[in-house]
Structure 1
Amino acid sequence: MARKKINNAAEAPLRPVEPAPHWSSLREGDRVSVRLSTGFETGGRVSAVTPDRTVVWVDLDGGRGRTLLHCSDGVEILPA
């Protein structure tokens, strides 16, 4: 059976996502280190966390702004 090529994200199959276990301990105001899969790392402070712990907002250090991180983004958020 040939595989169908997926041309855009809307055609991609949905998959369940779960946050990393340590995401459950993140709280508003916590200092964290944010590591992206591309090798970029920066510090920041948690500004909000959704009740299911799948989404975390982080105010990045150095005036880089506020960013929303989802557990399926391939990013690590570790206590600093």
Structure 2
Amino acid sequence: MLVVAYEIARSLGYRWLPNIRRWGSLLAEETLKQAERRFYDTRETLKLIEKLRRGCVRVVERRVVDVSGVHPLTLAFYGDVLGKMLG
């Protein structure tokens, strides 16, 4: 979020990101709007929630039985979770 705030501050003419306590409401509000647009898809999330409520989509539990085909980064980040699932 700080990256977004910095980009917006630059577009508003700041050369650096002002102290967070000194943020004008324009900078704070625009940062939240931009972060939401860039990193969250609110509209599609609401559609998914509605489909879950209506029963059009269901959540299915998936168990990992073999980690031999799992990408090394996945193992690095989630190895402990995968180990608990297998063990």
**Greater helix share, structure number:** 2
| Higher RCO (CA-CA < 8 Å; seq separation 6+) | 1
Q: TM-score range by the shorter chain?
A: under 0.3
Taking structure 2 as the reference length, the TM-score comes to 0.21
Between structures 1 and 2, the one with greater strand share: 1
